[in-house]
């Protein structure tokens, strides 16, 4: 005679979980002093308009997803810089 043990496997949802699909969650400002670019090891600048971390030297931007920076080089996007005036040759 075998006994089947029925375990209480009830999944709970977090009641405090609210999805506001309006604006992206910004970066925690205190984190910025700890974060550096994984490629150049230099400090990053937070761009509030695009919700990204910018590496000016390399011209790349790391996205911030749900308040968490995605610091994977593959996730970074190239940001275009305006050409300097000397490049406008006649």
Say how far apart CA 60 and CA 16 lie, in whole Å.
35
pLDDT at 13 over 60: no
**Domains with residue ranges and CATH for the chain:** 29-78 (2.20.25.10)
E strand or H helix at 64: strand 60-65
pLDDT of 51-67, one tens digit each?
A: 999 999 999 999 999 98
List, for residues 24-53, the tens digit of each pLDDT value: 788 888 888 999 999 999 999 999 999 999
């Amino acid at each position: 005679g075998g006994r089947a043990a029925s375990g209480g496997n009830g999944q709970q949802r977090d009641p405090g979980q609210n999805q506001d699909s309006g604006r992206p969650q910004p970066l925690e400002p205190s984190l910025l002093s700890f974060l550096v670019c994984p490629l150049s090891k230099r400090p990053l600048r937070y761009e509030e308009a695009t919700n990204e971390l910018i590496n000016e030297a390399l011209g790349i931007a790391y996205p911030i997803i749900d308040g968490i920076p995605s610091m994977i080089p593959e996730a970074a996007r190239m940001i275009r810089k305006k050409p300097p005036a000397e490049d406008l040759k006649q």
